[in-house]
A and B are shown apart, each in its own frame.
Chain A
Amino acid sequence: MNQPVQPKINVRGIRKQFGDLIVLRHIDLDVMAGEVVALIGPSGSGKSTLLRCLNLLTIPDNGELRIGEDSFVFGKGSRLPGAKVQASFRSRTGMVFQHFNLFPHMTVLQNVMEGPLTVKGMSKTKAQELANQLLAKVGLAEKAQEYPDFLSGGQKQRVAIARALAMEPSVMLFDEATSALDPELVAEVLQVMRDLAREGMTMIIVTHEIAFAREVASKVIFMRDGVIVEQGPALQVIDQPAEEATRSFLSHFHTRS
């Protein structure tokens, strides 16, 4: 008997509140292995918060989360996962931030080596080999010895992607990876993401690049006010949204490249 295929990521009833502000109301979400999900929606709709809940940078108030073998239940009566458990869980998901957050006191190479060295306890030689390989992959082999301050935004973000990949994560989370970039630098970062998607990486991408989402994502999720308003195949949600809210949001963008 074939087992029914289980989603890679499983989110049930996730809820998050900051003070009086309910940011996530009741989020259900399934992501299959190798799937690329684009998360779109207006500012303040809770996209970043949802993404951060997925690697526990923000701890949900309620709900359930499972990625691969790791699962958590949040809310009354359930214990908060300890620092050690959180850390090992996070080491299996990669996260890329809008503002790169590279470590300015380390060279590009050291940035990429940091995770394998301190988290995995990898040997220096091996970590360096891996880092060089990943830097070549994102097209920055010759920048290995530079410090981040001397790179362009696009280069910084590619280093940040290499740094996340160095942990060999099973899922990559992107929070507006190109929003802080000058327009002419966006393409080089999107290209790296496109390659990753093609290699079968499971990805959740918060983005305002609707055309990119349409091209690369298999599924698009539209969020507003802390709820998922609409989700479905990328072409369907972007070209023929079922909900008025989605249509109105998309009308602000050119949706074709």
Chain B
Amino acid sequence: MYKWEFGILWNYRWILLDGTKITVLLTLSVIVLGLLVGLIAALAQLSNFRTFRLGSWAFIELFRCTPLLVLLLWFYYALPILLGIEMTAYTAAVVTLSLYGGSFYAEIIRGGIISLDRGQTEAGLALGMRPLHVMRRIVLPQAIKRMSPPLMNQSIIQFKNTSLVSVLAVPDLLYQGQVAATDTYRPLEVYTIVAIIYLLILVPMTAFAKRAEHKLNKSN
């Protein structure tokens, strides 16, 4: 029978806390930036200009259909060589995750926008509003309500995706866990704790998303 030894991890509490902070910070950044990317890509998809539509389509397909791990490695090791720039692991992680998440957000946002009755846009246009005004004042405020449950789900997935950045040695929760595990020869305890920390953050978040979705369904 395996003898659990959690006590030894007490010495690593600050490291794990630091890792958790990085994970949360990273998640928040890639959610905000990803939403921005997604919004731009979605609007480009709906644009009257063929070039925008094509460019956005190519971007979305490229990022949705390439494994995230491959993207992370490519952005960290290959892109800097191509462009002749230097990028910290953290920057590479933020950029990759934002673009990756953005490609999924884009489809959600596009779906939310086109699900809205065309009459809403026409009523705005008929008043003499410019298309961007119609989007900002009429369409998006209504579409956001419909999009928020799937956007929240995608954001939860993004949170979990951040664990992959440990391969670039970004000191996130999982990476710090690996450090602790190597130090202590206690992988079982360490990874159990790491998993529990992810759970402790995600379970309430998921519950919150569920409740928001439920509330929304009732209000419609």
Contact = CB atoms under 8 A, between A and B. Distances in A.
Interface of A: 55, 57, 83-84, 86-95, 97, 99, 101-105, 114-115, 118-119, 160, 163-164, 167
B120 interface: yes
Interface residues on B, range: 10 to 19
B126 A90 contact: yes
A114 B137 contact: yes
Given A104-B142, A105-B141, A87 B119 contact: no
Given A104-B142, A114-B137, A57 B126 contact: yes
Contacts of B128: 87-92, 115, 119, 167
B130 A83 contact: yes
B25 interface: no
14 contacts: A57-B126, A83-B130, A83-B131, A87-B125, A91-B128, A93-B126, A97-B123, A97-B126, A99-B119, A101-B120, A103-B124, A115-B129, A119-B127, A119-B133
Contact of B122 (A89, A97, A167): A97
Contact of A103 (B125, B126, B130, B138): B138
A84 B129 CA distance: 9
A28 B138 CA distance: 35
SS class of chain B's interface: helix, strand, loop or mixed?
helix
A95 B128 CA distance: 10
Nearest to B122: A57
A12 B182 CA distance: 83
Interface in B109-137: 117, 119-120, 122-131, 133, 137
A163 B127 contact: yes
B126 A95 contact: yes
A94 B123 CA distance: 10
Contact of B130 (A57, A84, A114): A84
A111 to B, nearest CB: 9
Contacts of A160: 123
Given A99-B119, A103-B138, A104-B142, A57 B127 contact: no
A140 B177 CA distance: 65
B129 A97 contact: no
A199 B130 CA distance: 30
Nearest to A103: B138
A55 to B, nearest CB: 6
A87 B120 CA distance: 15
Contacts of B119: 97, 99, 101
Nearest to B133: A118
Given A104-B142, A105-B142, A55 B137 contact: no
A97 B119 CA distance: 8
A114 B142 contact: no
Contacts of B137: 114, 118
Interface centre among A57, A93, A114 (most CB of B within 10 A): A114
A101 B131 contact: no
